[in-house]
Every structure is written in C-alpha cells, then in structure tokens.
A and B are shown apart, each in its own frame.
Chain A
Amino acid sequence: MLRVIAIEFKRGLLNLRRYPLEMVGQLVVITLIFYGLFLGARYIAGPAAQFGGRLDALVVGYVLWTLSLFAIGDLSWGLMNEAREGTLEQVFLSPYGPARVYLARNAASLLIMLGFNLVILFVLLFLTGAHLHFAGAAVWPLAAALLGAYGVGFMLGALALYFKRIQAFLNLFQFVMMFLVMTPFERLEGLGRLAGMLLPITPGAGMLRGLLARGEPFDMHLFALALANGLVYLLVGLWVFTYAVRLTKERGLLGGY
C-alpha cells in the first residue's frame, strides 16, 4: 500500500510540474491569502475567522477550511475527469481495488497540498519576520476533522462514480461545509450540541475553536470524540464508496460519462 501512496505522490507532483501555470496560480493564491492574513485582513480567511483573531488561530483555521474543501471535492473531481478522459477503468483494473487506490491518492494529494501550504507559510514567516505561536496540540483535532472530511469526500465520490456529473452538487456542498466548519455547535445546548458530536468535521473544528480562540486546554475526551467521529465517517465513506463501485459494476456504468 505504501508503494501505491508513493507512486500517487509522484504522479501528483509530475502533474503539477507538467502544467506550471496551474501550479504558479495555486502558489500565488495561497501566498496572497497568507500574506493578507499576516497583514491583518481577517475577512480573507473566510470561515476561518471563527477560529479567533490571533494570527496563529486564523492560519490554522484557514488550513482546516482549505484542506477540508480539498478533501471533500478532490476525489469526485478526479473521478469525473477520469471517466471523461477514459482512464477510470484502467485504475479499476488494479488488484488493490479502487477504494485503496483512491485512499492512497487522497493521502498523496493531502501531503502535496499540506507541503504547499507549509512551504509558503514558512517562506512568508521568514520574509515578514512574523512569529506564529502554534499550539502543537492543534494538529490533532485538525487531523480528526480531516478524517471526517475525507469520509464525506468518499461519499460524494460514490455519487460521482454512479452519476458521473455532479459538478453543481459539489459546488453547492461548499455551503454545507461552511455550515459544518463555522457553526459553534460546542457552544449550543441540547440537540444542537448532540448534532455537533454526530455531524462530520464538527467535533474537530469545535475543539480547534476551543484551543485557539478561547484558549481552552487540550481535552483528551473531546479529542477521543473528534477522532472517533472522523474515523467513523471515513469508514462509512469507504463503505459507501465500495458499495457504489459494486452498484456501478452491476449496472455497467463504470466507463460511461
């Protein structure tokens, strides 16, 4: 499996290198956003502004927001492109099976995106002389939230595999994401609080808000909940995707677009 992640990583990097304008465009956008955050333009962080006014909180919040968006849409866009271009079935001929191949592809893409963000961040820190006081503990709820985001990504991937054209739905889903990342469920009572525990991404995002915006200490129980939520969504997402693969094969819809 590691070798599949490694080759997907290589493929991802090669694709970036082949279309340098695309890569430069991405670099410029990420640089401008981080630079804007450094200059105090909170609005530029979008939903990340909910994570507190401090620069480190804004940066972590922004990373969660962009990576979650990426995690949710990347697989579906990839599947739609591959179905259109006619490489999808070759990927499905892998003995590793599509779920594992796309899991590896997701992991590789996440590494590349994370690498992009970190490199730009460190270059800007160096150039501007700014300092970030990262609560290292913030990495854990971030990871838990991303697990859930990938779970949802696999569910949307299942739809993309079966229906092939779900672009409009994916665009609409950004607002669902905004709701999940921005709503402070952890501050609500009763059903709202319960929803915060059960919905995808929300426990991790809530814990991040607690750590960064409200300066709460790292709560092991809360983290266990966020992690369990993320893992359950990932497993359910993988199950739904595998079911969609089976259904698509039964109905002969794999190769069409």
Chain B
Amino acid sequence: MAVLRAENLHKTFRSRGRVVQAVSGVSLRVERGEVLAFLGPNGAGKTTTIKMVAGLVRPDRGLVRIEERDPHRDPWTLRRLGAVLEGNRNVYWRLTPLENLEYFGVLRGLTAGAARRRGELLLRRFDLDHKKNALTQQLSRGMQQKLAIAVSLVHEPALLLLDEPTLGLDVEAAETVKQIVRELAAEGQAIVLTTHHLDVAQQLSDRVAIIREGRIVAKDRTKTLLARFSGEQYEIEVAAELDEPRRRRVAGLGAEVADGHVVYVGDPEGLWQVLEVLRPLPILRVEKDRADLTEVFLKLVREEADA
C-alpha cells in the first residue's frame, strides 16, 4: 500500500477576473521509506499540490489518499500526516520548543503526557534539548526549522511533507536538516520534499517529479533520470605519459588525449578496448560523465518552455 497516492489532481484559481490553471493532472505516489523530490520553478504548482495533499486546498478534480484514506473527507486522516510549510513559522514563537511539541501533539490527537514524552525524545534527537525551555523566537533560524520538523513528527505520521525545508538556512543548519531527512527515510518515513536546492534534492531523493506550469514533465527514480540525461563520455586518468603508438591506437578508437587524461565518447564496449590499449599503465581514475539534477531540471524546464 502506497503511503501517498495522489491521482489526476486539478486546481484552478480565479483572481481579478483571470483564471489560472495552477495544477493540471498531477499524480504522485510515495511508498514507505521513500523520499520524493517534487521540483519546479516558482509558481509551477508545487505548493498548491502539497496543500491539496495536506487537505488545505480542495482540488477541483482528482483524488488524494494517505494510507488509502481521504484527507478531504475524513479529517482523522490528518493524524497520519505531518507538514512543514514554506513561508510559515509553523510553530508559536511565544512558546518554548517543548510547549510547542506538547500543544501540537495534543492538536494532532495525542494526550498531553504522550505529546510531552514524545516531544522530549524529539528534542534530544534533534539536539535541541538544551533549548527546550527557551522561547522559540530566541532560537536561530536553523533551530526553529529543526523544531518545525520535530513538531511535524510529534504524532508519528506516515507521510511527511517538507516544503522548502532548507530555505534561508546556513550551510551547517542545512546539512543538519539533510541528515535528519536521510535518517527519517532510513527509518521508513515517507517524505515529499520540495526544494529549489537541487543539490539537496539529488542527495536526498529516491525519486523525482518535476512540475512546470501545473503539469508533471518528468517523473522517475532519481538515478534513472540522471543516467538518462548523462552523456556517454568517460574520462580516464593515467599516471604516466602515453607513448606515441598508444596515442595513435587510442585515437583510432575515437578517444582524445590531453593533459594526462584520455577522454572517450562511446559505448562501454569501446571503453574496454581503450582500457586494453592503456594496459599496463597505472590508471588513477575512470569516471563517467554524470548529469546533475540542476542540468536535468534546467533542460526539462527549458525544453518544455520551447515546446
């Protein structure tokens, strides 16, 4: 059973006489222990989709199921969902971290005692226990974000929605949040992550969905998508100078030699032939050119724009 199943979501907004198709036919699926990076340029429909999943925006068409329950019809489905929403404080700045955890724990259906115990546990885990009695407004931005994530987990949801969790964080705080996401996924948490930090998405996600102008333009496993956009180029670093006969034979196979590097563009079969020519020279490194998510993202988004 998928933790999240969103199918064929549509949403139109009317603003000052204009009709804006915010989301059009978006489907997402997330399994237990899986991180789905949901990417797209500003205004592409990410946040609207996330809010439709969270029951905060009602879709015009389509369905949302969290563990096969509908958050728009059955409010107790929200017991299985946690969310950190972008552009929001998400927590009360006048309360301490522990008080926030207790308050939101009860609001999500826990008893006050259970919420406090779980809150203490999360504060220790997120290295915030030394701040548990400080006012939230006095915490650093990174700590506030960690607290917002802790609060979203207080009721042990099956699905976690993280909308721009590293936005505005310094490098260290962003690394901590990334580590938390990794650990949660390893423990079986299903996570939908939206971010403009594509390196973060690449490092954390098992699968990627890219949305543009309300439509999904790519959806695949992260590795598969990267491989699809990676070139057939290999770079071989050799520890010694190549003699002239080897240079000629390597060139004959279509490879180029420059600054101690042999660059070969072709299929893996050809690569083995190049390596055979280089034998027995000591090889320091063989590396396949790999696209990163930023390249894939820009390519897809621009391709769609040109289409």
Whether chains A and B associate is: yes
Q: Which of B13, B56, B57, B102 contacts A93 (CB 8 A)?
A: B56
Give A6's nearest chain B residue, CB to CB: B112
Q: Which of B58, B77, B88, B108 contacts A249 (CB 8 A)?
A: B58
Determine if A251 and B13 form an interchain contact, defined as CB atoms under 8 angstroms apart. yes
Is A14 an interface residue, CB under 8 A from the partner? Answer: yes
Is B51 an interface residue, CB under 8 A from the partner? Answer: yes
Binary flags per residue of B46-89, CB closer than 8 Å to A gives 1, else 0: 00100100111110000000000000000111110101010111
Give A88's nearest chain B residue, CB to CB: B88
Determine if A249 and B87 form an interchain contact, defined as CB atoms under 8 angstroms apart. no
Nearest chain B CB to A255's CB is how many angstroms away?
A: 7
Give B148's nearest chain A residue, CB to CB: A90
Give B111's nearest chain A residue, CB to CB: A3
Determine if B76 and A95 form an interchain contact, defined as CB atoms under 8 angstroms apart. yes
Nearest chain B CB to A119's CB is how many angstroms away?
A: 23
User: Total A-B residue pairs with C-beta atoms closer than 8 Å?
Assistant: 101
CA distance A92 to B83 in the complex (A): 11
Determine if A94 and B93 form an interchain contact, defined as CB atoms under 8 angstroms apart. no
CA distance A85 to B13 in the complex (A): 24
Give B11's nearest chain A residue, CB to CB: A252
**Cβ of B75: which chain A residues have Cβ within 8 Å of it?**
95-97
SS class, residues of chain A in contact with chain B: helix
Is A177 an interface residue, CB under 8 A from the partner? Answer: no
Is B264 an interface residue, CB under 8 A from the partner? Answer: no
Is B94 an interface residue, CB under 8 A from the partner? Answer: yes
Which residues of chain B in 209-244 are interfacial with respect to chain A, using CB atoms and an 8 Å cutoff?
none
Give B102's nearest chain A residue, CB to CB: A7
Binary flags per residue of A76-87, CB closer than 8 Å to B gives 1, else 0: 000000000111
Q: List 19 A-B contacts (CB under 8 A).
A: A3-B111, A19-B94, A86-B87, A87-B89, A87-B91, A89-B51, A89-B83, A90-B90, A94-B107, A95-B78, A246-B58, A249-B58, A251-B13, A251-B14, A252-B13, A252-B22, A254-B56, A254-B57, A255-B87
Supplied contacts A18-B95, A89-B83, 10 more A-B pairs, CB within 8 Å: A4-B107, A7-B102, A14-B95, A93-B108, A94-B108, A96-B109, A249-B55, A252-B13, A252-B51, A254-B56
Q: Which 8 pairs of residues, A with B, have the shortest CB-CB distance?
A: A86-B88, A7-B106, A86-B89, A94-B107, A249-B58, A95-B78, A95-B76, A252-B57
Binding site for A on B (CB under 8 A): 11, 13-14, 22, 48, 51, 54-58, 75-79, 81, 83, 85, 87-95, 99, 102-104, 106-109, 111-112, 135, 151
